[in-house]
Amino acid sequence: MSRLQLQKQLVGLFLASSPSVWWSPTRRRLLSTRSLLAKRRNKKKRKMEKREDLRSILPYLPVVMRSSTLFWPSHVVEALKELARGPLHSHVDSGHILFTAIEDIRNSLSLSSNSLAPSTSLGYSLFFDELMTREESRKWFEEVVPALGSLLLRLPSLLEAHYENADKVLNVGAMIGTGLRMLDSQEAGIVFLSRELIAALLGCSLFCLFPDHDRYMKQLQIINFDQLFAYGIYSFSFSLSLYEDYSQKQESKIRCIIHYFQRISSDMPKGVVSLERKVLPFEGDADLISYPNSNFWSTSAIPLCKFEVHTSGHIEDQSGEAVEVDFANKYLGGGALGRGCVQEEIRFMVSPELIAGMLFLTAMEENEAIDIVGVERFSSYTGYASSFRFSGDYVDERDVDNLGRRKTRIVAIDALCSPGMRQYREKFVLREINKAFCGFLYQFKYQKYQKILQENGWSSEQFDASTLTYMETSEEEISNHEFEKFQNNYQRMEQGNNIGVATGNWGCSAFGGDPELKAIIQWLAASQALRPFIAYYTFGLEALQNLDELSAGNIFSLRWTCFDVKILSRNFGFDIVQVASWILSQRWTVGDLWNMLIEYSTKRSKGETTVGFLQWLLPSLYGHGARFNSSNSP
């Protein structure tokens, strides 16, 4: 050994045994920081294992957790890596081989192939190998499938990041949980999901990776896409596979979903989506509006809001910031992932991010609604039900709010199904108006109104009568100083106060309700919820005039005993505009119109009248004498 080598060894031993020399202040700070970060990471992981929200949803997710870490089983990781490398490595270049790869991944997750719908494999083969053009198929397998493989590999880390930040989303003083969790019936709450996480979850749906053994018992919707490619959700439907019973509308539904994956694989959307279960408590709550009774409605002094009618266009085409009503099934999404293709299912196809709610939102009860904010529309379409067709890309230009959500607000409310004559009984009119009220109500807004009421020393009558009237009164006409003060306070409230309701024939067509009854019910609910206007889309009543084309109507074999469609042969939009204008000219309150509606419904349920509400209220529109003079009110 040379002298130089010996010196280096001695210096090395000296440095190793001399902390004061080797542990410089800079290195000590660096190692201390690393240690602190490692401790924080371990603490977060231990905390995640104890999270009730994660524990509630974990049995319904395809990933597993061990030692506070979420991960894919090793065989799944390898399979996804192969997909991510492209068809030259994975050999996945057809629908048949894709489904074989899906089955292999499902086997690695111990998911039974028997739980998939019959003909699922044939449906995947038919769509990707025959219905797609050769160029579409090439791009799908060379570009989109590898991108989805990479995205699913990131699902565990996306979920961990989600839970680490879940309680910070709202940035409010009180702790409000926003993490992904099971939101059961009567459990009011909100979940915020990044749009990238939603994309990963929908990728799992496409690959049929969600466990489904307990979803039915939990009153949860199907979430895998096997039935979308195979058959409808209705247990009494036979031979309804895409392969065995091809239909263009079913192909178009799948094309909407595939188009979504094509878009997000090349440009992952930013921002978040919020999904909220809203509940009107049956029992009294000092801080919340409870489930109203008939007296609540009959004594309401709140004025009716504006009523706008649109005889063309669709709800989702509205250019303002109105809440868009989803004519929902009690199971969110209805037949979206089966063979359903009416209003709700179409909305879910053109905005597939809505499907994420089907993962964790159980069936709605009569006092519940579901509110979803932030989804993007990706597809254009034409037609309705059997005539539904995918017609290409859609560029959604809605702005984003300060929480990162696109300003698209959708509320899902389920109406009575096939109600017949019982829909005119007060009990069921009350059920429907409270359902709509739950969906349209913004509880926080009510609390702010109550605070202003107390600060100004107003009575409830003064409060109710002026809250919406001011919007139709110019500042020059207002002479009361206190009211001007109220108006200024009102205008400084959250922006959401000026958001109306965009709706239409909710609970009609496939559900079998009376459009005139439902229109008035929604108007009352929107007014009571302090919405400034209701924009009513009649759809030209196509859905009512072509009942034979409604697949859902055929499946349920509806008998339209509740009302005669012939009463709508006139211009429904024109009639309701005339009636609404007359009612507003009389300055009716919510209570006034409710009482008239109950009087009509009672007569209708007893068989004392057979005409629609509009004709009963204003016979002059139909060539008879008016029930009220223009100068009278009830």
The DSSP 8-state label assigned to residue 511 in this structure reads G
Do 259 and 284 form a contact (C-beta atoms < 8 A)? no
* Predicted pLDDT at 84: 98
Across 17-155, where does the E strand assignment appear?
64-66, 69-71
C-alpha dist (Å) from residue 26 to 11, 12, 14, 29, 32? 21, 20, 20, 5, 10
Condensed to tens digits (0 to 9), the pLDDT of residues 311-338 reads 889 999 988 889 999 999 999 999 999 9
The four Cα atoms 355, 359, 361, 363 give a dihedral, to 10 degrees, of 90
Helix (H, G, I), strand (E, B) or coil at 439: helix
Mean pLDDT, residues 575-579 taken together: 90
Instruction: Report, as an integer, the average pLDDT of 491-495.
Output: 38
**Section 374-393 average pLDDT:** 96
User: Domain residue spans in the chain?
Assistant: 52-270, 294-330+365-373+381-394+403-609
Instruction: Average the pLDDT over 227-241 and give the result.
Output: 55
Q: Are the C-beta atoms of 333 and 355 separated by less than 8 Å?
A: yes
Q: What is the pLDDT of residue 484?
A: 43
Task: Tell me, letter by letter, the H, E, C secondary structure of 8-23.
Answer: HHHHHHHHHCCHHHHC
Binding site for substrate, by residue number, is: 329, 343, 384
Alpha helices in 50-93 (DSSP H): 52-57, 74-84, 87-90
Per-residue pLDDT, 90: 97
Read off the tokens for 317. Answer: 């085409």
For residue 544, give the 3-state DSSP assignment. helix
- State the catalytic residue, choosing from 196, 345, 353, 368: 345
Cα separations in angstroms, 11 against 2, 3, 15, 234: 14, 12, 6, 81
Higher pLDDT, 434 or 445: 434
Q: Say yes or no to pLDDT of 496 above 80.
A: no
Q: How confident is the model at residue 539 (pLDDT cuts 50, 70, 90)?
A: confident
* pLDDT exceeds cutoff 80 at 97: yes
The answer to whether residue 239 scores a pLDDT higher than 70 is no
The residue with greater pLDDT, 297 or 30, is: 297
Residue from 226, 324, 326, 353 carrying the catalytic annotation: 326
* Token code pair at residue 162: 């989600």
Distance CA 348, CA 256 (A): 9
In whole angstroms, give the CA distance from residue 612 to residue 628. Answer: 17
User: Is 80 exceeded by the pLDDT of residue 541?
Assistant: no
570: its two tokens: 């006139």
114 — pLDDT class (breaks 50, 70, 90): confident
Q: Write down the pLDDT at residue 448.
A: 63
DSSP string, 467-530: TTGGGGS-GGG---HHHHHHHHHHHTS-GGGG--EEEESTT-GGG---HHHHHHHHHHHHHHTT
Query: What pLDDT is attached to residue 498?
Result: 84
- Looking at per-residue pLDDT, the higher value among 471 and 199 belongs to 199
Per-residue pLDDT reduced to its tens digit, 133-150: 999 999 999 999 999 999
Burial status of residue 79 (CB atoms within 10 A of its CB: 0-12, 13-18, 19 or more): buried
Say whether pLDDT at 565 is over 60.
Answer: no
**Residues 396-413: pLDDT tens digits?**
999 999 999 999 999 999
344 is catalytic: yes
Average pLDDT over residues 18-42: 53
What is the pLDDT at residue 26? Answer: 58
* Best-predicted range by mean pLDDT (159-173, 233-247, 275-289, 492-506): 275-289
Is residue 478's pLDDT more than 80?
no
561 three-state secondary structure: coil
CB-based burial label for 623 (10 Å; 0-12, 13-18, 19+): exposed
Is the pLDDT score of 346 beyond 70? Answer: yes
Res. 288 pLDDT band, cuts 50 70 90: confident
Residue type for 397, please? E
Measured between alpha carbons, how far is 555 from 549 in angstroms, rounded to an integer? 11
Q: How many CB atoms lie within 10 A of CB 328?
A: 26
| 61 against 285, higher pLDDT | 61
In this structure, the number of other CB atoms found within 10 A of the CB of residue 100 comes to: 14
Higher pLDDT, 46 or 536: 536
pLDDT of residue 489: 40
Give the residue numbers of the binding site. Answer: 329, 343, 384
**What tokens were used for 352?**
């597939």
Q: Which SS3 state, helix, strand or coil, does residue 566 take?
A: helix
Q: What is the pLDDT of residue 24?
A: 58
pLDDT of residue 536: 95
Q: How many CB atoms within 10 Å of residue 583? A: 21
pLDDT at residue number 113: 80
Least confident of 44-58, 345-359, 521-535, 540-554: 540-554
Average pLDDT value for residue range 273-294: 90
Q: What is the mean pLDDT of residues 227-256?
A: 69
Pick the residue with more confidence: 538 or 238? 538
Instruction: Please tell me the predicted confidence (pLDDT) of residue 625.
Output: 54
Burial environment of residue 265 by CB neighbours within 10 A (0 to 12, 13 to 18, 19 or more): buried
Q: Which residue has the higher pLDDT, 630 or 30?
A: 30
Predicted local confidence at residue 120, as pLDDT: 94
- Per-residue pLDDT, averaged over 579-604, amounts to 97
- Range 447-452 contact pairs with CB under 8 angstroms and sequence separation of 24 or more: 447/287, 448/493, 448/494, 449/530, 452/486, 452/489, 452/490
Q: What percent of the chain is modeled with pLDDT above 70?
A: 74
More confident residue, 21 or 536: 536
- Banded pLDDT at 172 (limits 50, 70, 90): low
Catalytic residue among 276, 344, 376, 575: 344
**CB proximity list for 255: less than 8 A, separation 6 or greater:** 379, 390
432 is a catalytic site residue:
no
For every residue of 576-625, DSSP letters joined together read HHHHHHHHHHTT-BHHHHHHHHHHHHHHHHTTS--S-HHHHH-GGGGTS-
Run of H or E including 139:
helix 134-139
pLDDT above 80: residue 286: no
Q: If pLDDT is split at 50, 70 and 90, which confidence band does 5 have?
A: low
Q: Which amino acid type is present at position 368?
A: E
Between 483 and 112, residue with greater pLDDT: 112
**Least confidently predicted of 3-17, 99-113, 489-503:** 3-17
Mean pLDDT, the chain, as a whole number?
Answer: 82
Distance CA 71, CA 73 (A): 7
Query: Residue 25: its pLDDT value, please?
Result: 59
How close are the terminal C-alpha atoms of the chain, in Å? 113
Predicted local distance difference test score (pLDDT) of residue 64: 95
